[in-house]
Structure 1
Amino acid sequence: MTEPQRPSPGAPGAGDLFQLFRGGEARTKAELCALTGLARSTVSLRIDALVAADLLRPAGEAASSGGRPPARIAFNPLARVVVAVDLGATHGTVAVTDLAGAILTTSRAELQIAAGPEPVLDWVVEAASALLDAPHTWATPQPLAPPVIGIGIGLPGPVEHSTGRPTNPPIMPGWDRFDVPAYIRRTIDVPVLVDNDVNVLALGEHAISWPDTDDLVYVKVSTGIGAGIIAGGELQRGALGAAGDIGHVQVPVGRDSPRPADDERDLEAIASGPAIATELRAHGIHAVSSRDVAALIRAGDRKAIETTRQAGREIGEVLSVVVNLLNPTVIVLGGTMTRAGGHLLTGVREVVYRRSMPLATGHLGIVTSTAGEEAGVLGAAIMVLRDALSAPAIDAMTQPRALDAAST
């Protein structure tokens, strides 16, 4: 999965030329001259620098129009790798991807984010190191692991993206203001980017299932509830990284809601997996977690189905405001509570289509996620690649000093 960027203003540099290759198409120097308007000597210098950095590689010869066939050059996605990490309340996934975002190998484990940052991040480092030290398990012919260009991590709580520090995460005791990048870099000394897991999932879902959609809202309903917002093709984090925190919005009591009129709880306290489980226990049904609720739904428990559908309606009350405000093309529901039939989805649709403006819902799709378990790590990889393979970053990487350092 690649995302070529727009060329920088002014004469295209090596980084701008590199963007022309990220879609996977091999090109000749003559084609690059025609595309950029640069002189052949300038193109040659910049392509040579990209080849020296191992970012491009020879790709055979193009058809000749007379004389010697021109050489073609192509993107080398295995020049570096990315370590991508998806951490949830009760699980962790670490993957290694190439520079095109293709997942090469993964490691998964059950863990508790509430155990604290040190034990969880120690597992991340150990799992990543094991994957990098065992390249024979990859679906590639390379005998040794390529260098790591960066690490991306999704965490199940609010994150100050500029520093990588969680900020008052409600289900992550001990994580508040913990310097996640510095802790990781003690062992793997590369750039580390950290974001809220829903933002990372939105990037992955967008790349896998909706690459041509510029306006998307991804809603995760599991232990907590949050939203990742893509508007105009770009992830929206907000001024301080708190965009999409719909779980802490107080839900108005609708006319069909069974809640009392003075109920001032927020969405997460009403419609998350644990909240549904609490409601079921009040009716004598054993349920503790989101997974318990999902299991009851799959078993056909009528009360679990009814309660989950009502939770969908409550989520719909909040999302109807989101739809009127942002006018997305699609709302994608993901998380544990969406994996046990369409009952949550039905409740959301029922309210959103009724409450939102007809103009905003005329072409609005409300669907469940189809990206699967790989969306989180893919989104974490995309977060790294957008930064590490940007035109300015490639320009810095192909400077003579950087090339000399890489060769020593």
Structure 2
Amino acid sequence: MMPPTEPASSDPSGLIRLLRDGRQWSVSELAATTGVARSTVSQRLDMLSALGLISRAEPGSSTGGRPPKRVALLADARLVLAFDIGASHAHVGVASITREILAHRRIAIDIAAGPDHVLGQVTEVADDLLDGLGRDRSVVLATGVGLPGPVHAATGRPVRPPIMPGWDGYDVPGWLHSRDGIPAFVDNDVNLAALGEHDRFGVGVDNFLYVKVATGIGAGIISGGMLLRGAQGIAGDIGHVRVSRGEGVFCSCGNEGCLEALAAGPAIARSLREAGIEVTSSREVVARVDAGDVNAIQAVRQAGRDLGEVLSASISFLNPSVIAIGGRMAGAGEHLIAGVREVVYRRAMPLATVGLEIRTARSGERAGLMGATALAADHALSPAGLLALAARQHV
């Protein structure tokens, strides 16, 4: 879920959006900004104080009479958990409600081991991280989860994910909630990486495409400042778009000629093995590129051209101002990007590429973790999230 974009209001979540800037606010300032009565603002602040989310700060300077009381958000009084789960590894994080990641760890996993095993792994690591911070789950408001496959937006359940045997239709939010009563929110990992990377831009980049090239290939789409998920939650599934040189190459989805079957990390490694070069993983491909191996560089450049073929069509539909490429294969640097640019600037309409920036993602492997943090924090501090918290605490 994208951060709310509507004007701040007098409801508690609206006040928190203002307090997230780290300033100390007086009741008068909050009332003037929201356009509602001081008494209403004071009532909302009382609720937030009872929930342990704000504190009364030092009085401000007075212009006559009593100094105004000021309030500030207690950024790390409440926490969120973030799980960015991939095919072979996961990032686990603990963050403040202002999205600052306080502790994180990368672990090896096997997504094919099934949901019970993998979710057990990441929650165990989360408990260790909380212990290291001297905290426990009583202060956790929500969990955000990214999964490497299509996710039904309304239910948070994976939908026929091609590389996740045993996960189809599994109730991931329910499993996590049943463990400790903490609400969990699930999305596709590339969508969350798009949110995490988009946060690095601040204002001004409202039309943005994040592309992850790793074990698979997918895109996260932000249009008009909002994340686009599509009717079934699979918007951006560009890895299964057919490319021109894909004849006779079959994909794990069962179709022929998919981009993922030609340009994802395992596909590049396979093409090098067919040329007599022993590589077994995306990491080894990147290492060979870094070492100046001409064959590896040419294979990565061709993967970039294949990706550029699909992106040139996507640009005509979406007209982004920035395309950021992340994932394991982005470690190959400008060689992958050069292949993308070569095709995009040749095939896309000139008007669509005016001012278009195509570059490596800035957030690296933490983009998905940052997006999962944003997903959890935004839900936790939404009107529904605050009402649920008040019900749990009997406020």
Is TM-score (shorter-chain normalized) higher than 0.5? yes
- In the other structure, the counterpart of 2:39 is 41
- Consecutive unaligned residues in structure 2, runs of 5 or more: 251-255
- In the other structure, the counterpart of 1:344 is 336
CA distance in structure 1 between the partners assigned to 2:366 and 2:122 by the alignment: 16
- In the other structure, the counterpart of 2:66 is 68
- In the other structure, the counterpart of 2:16 is 18
- Aligned letter for 1:15? S
- In the other structure, the counterpart of 1:181 is 173
Residues 161 and 314 of structure 1, relative CA distance in 2, 3 Å threshold: same
Whether the aligned pair in 2 keeps the contact of 1:158 and 1:169 (CA below 8 Å) is: yes
Residues 14 and 186 of structure 1, relative CA distance in 2, 3 Å threshold: closer
Match of 2:58, SS?
strand
Whether the aligned pair in 2 keeps the contact of 1:19 and 1:391 (CA below 8 Å) is: no
- In the other structure, the counterpart of 1:169 is 161
Q: Which runs of structure 2 are paired with 1:120-131 in the superposition (5 Å)?
A: 120-131=118-129
Whether the aligned pair in 2 keeps the contact of 1:317 and 1:352 (CA below 8 Å) is: yes
2:295 pairs with one of 303, 306, 311: 303
Whether the aligned pair in 1 keeps the contact of 2:26 and 2:71 (CA below 8 Å) is: yes
- In the other structure, the counterpart of 1:195 is 187
CA distance in structure 2 between the partners assigned to 1:106 and 1:193 by the alignment: 19
CA distance in structure 2 between the partners assigned to 1:224 and 1:14 by the alignment: 41
CA distance in structure 1 between the partners assigned to 2:73 and 2:269 by the alignment: 50
2:114 pairs with one of 105, 113, 116: 116
- In the other structure, the counterpart of 1:107 is 105
CA distance in structure 2 between the partners assigned to 1:209 and 1:106 by the alignment: 23
1:160 pairs with one of 152, 167, 173: 152
- In the other structure, the counterpart of 2:83 is 85
- In the other structure, the counterpart of 2:6 is 6
1:326 pairs with one of 302, 318, 322: 318
- Please give the per-residue CA displacement for 1:199-253, whole angstroms capped at 9, x wherever unaligned: 1111111113455411110000111100000111111110010100000001134
Displacement, 1:404?
5.2
Match of 1:284, SS?
coil
1:368 pairs with one of 350, 360, 364: 360
- In the other structure, the counterpart of 1:139 is none
- In the other structure, the counterpart of 2:230 is 238
Displacement, 1:18?
2.8
Whether the aligned pair in 2 keeps the contact of 1:96 and 1:106 (CA below 8 Å) is: yes
Q: Which runs of structure 2 are paired with 1:246-395 in the superposition (5 Å)?
A: 246-253=238-245, 264-394=256-386
Displacement, 1:290?
1.1
Match of 1:296, SS?
helix
Whether the aligned pair in 2 keeps the contact of 1:89 and 1:112 (CA below 8 Å) is: yes
Match of 1:133, SS?
helix
Residues 118 and 397 of structure 1, relative CA distance in 2, 3 Å threshold: closer
Whether the aligned pair in 1 keeps the contact of 2:142 and 2:376 (CA below 8 Å) is: yes
CA distance in structure 2 between the partners assigned to 1:291 and 1:269 by the alignment: 17
Residues 51 and 377 of structure 1, relative CA distance in 2, 3 Å threshold: same
- Please give the per-residue CA displacement for 1:62-90, whole angstroms capped at 9, x wherever unaligned: 12112221111111112311010011111
1:220 aligns to 2:215 (yes or no): no
Displacement, 1:185?
2.4
- Please give the per-residue CA displacement for 1:316-361, whole angstroms capped at 9, x wherever unaligned: 0000011111000100000111102311100001111111111111
Whether the aligned pair in 2 keeps the contact of 1:198 and 1:219 (CA below 8 Å) is: yes
CA distance in structure 2 between the partners assigned to 1:295 and 1:43 by the alignment: 57
Match of 2:199, SS?
helix
Displacement, 1:41?
2.2
CA distance in structure 1 between the partners assigned to 2:241 and 2:392 by the alignment: 50
- Consecutive unaligned residues in structure 1, runs of 5 or more: 137-142, 254-258
Match of 2:311, SS?
helix
CA distance in structure 2 between the partners assigned to 1:262 and 1:275 by the alignment: 10
Match of 2:154, SS?
coil
CA distance in structure 1 between the partners assigned to 2:356 and 2:284 by the alignment: 31
Displacement, 1:177?
1.3
- In the other structure, the counterpart of 1:256 is none
Stretch deviating more after TM superposition (303-312 or 292-301): 292-301
Stretch deviating more after TM superposition (77-86 or 220-229): 77-86
Alignment TM-score, normalising by the size of structure 2: 0.92
- Aligned letter for 1:186? S
Stretch deviating more after TM superposition (113-122 or 204-213): 204-213
Residues 262 and 162 of structure 1, relative CA distance in 2, 3 Å threshold: closer
Whether the aligned pair in 2 keeps the contact of 1:15 and 1:392 (CA below 8 Å) is: no
CA distance in structure 2 between the partners assigned to 1:48 and 1:403 by the alignment: 17
- Aligned letter for 1:16? G
Stretch deviating more after TM superposition (110-119 or 347-356): 110-119
- In the other structure, the counterpart of 1:96 is 94
Whether the aligned pair in 2 keeps the contact of 1:151 and 1:190 (CA below 8 Å) is: yes
Residues 152 and 315 of structure 1, relative CA distance in 2, 3 Å threshold: same
Residues 389 and 404 of structure 1, relative CA distance in 2, 3 Å threshold: closer
Residues 260 and 34 of structure 1, relative CA distance in 2, 3 Å threshold: closer
Structure 1: which 4+ aligned runs deviate by more than 4 Å?
A: 2-5, 143-146, 259-264, 395-398
The size of the alignment, in residue pairs, is 389
Whether the aligned pair in 1 keeps the contact of 2:247 and 2:257 (CA below 8 Å) is: no
CA distance in structure 2 between the partners assigned to 1:274 and 1:214 by the alignment: 33
CA RMSD in angstroms, aligned pairs only: 2.2
2:142 pairs with one of 142, 150, 156: 150
